[in-house]
Amino acid sequence: MSSILIKDTTREERERIVEDSIGNISGSCDGCMAGLAEMYQDYIDGKREIAEINMAFMANYESGIEGPVKSECGYK
């Protein structure tokens, strides 16, 4: 397989790509992999490319959206 783009893969191939990349997607070992597999479900379903998912994750991580908001003189 030369491309991992949605247009160049089937659903089964995308499932295999995600599974090969992150390991056991059933998450039965300790529950952590299930969250990663959910993150890439849009790719498996053919809705968003892996690059889009990764960029959205990084933007959320770097922006601190879920963290405290800093005001002029401290945290709110």
For residue 70 the two structure tokens come to: 């800093």
Which pLDDT score, from 0 to 100, does residue 47 have? Answer: 97
Whole-angstrom Cα distance, residue 24 to residue 2? 23
Average pLDDT, the chain: 77
Average pLDDT over residues 10-37: 74
Whole-angstrom Cα distance, residue 48 to residue 23? 20
Which pLDDT score, from 0 to 100, does residue 4 have? Answer: 95
Which pLDDT score, from 0 to 100, does residue 25 have? Answer: 54
- The H or E element containing residue 70 is strand 70-71
The candidate with the shortest Cα–Cα distance to 22, out of 47, 48, 46, 53, is 53
Local confidence band at 51 (pLDDT 50, 70, 90 cut-offs): very high
Which pLDDT score, from 0 to 100, does residue 71 have? Answer: 58
Place of tokens 């990663």: 36
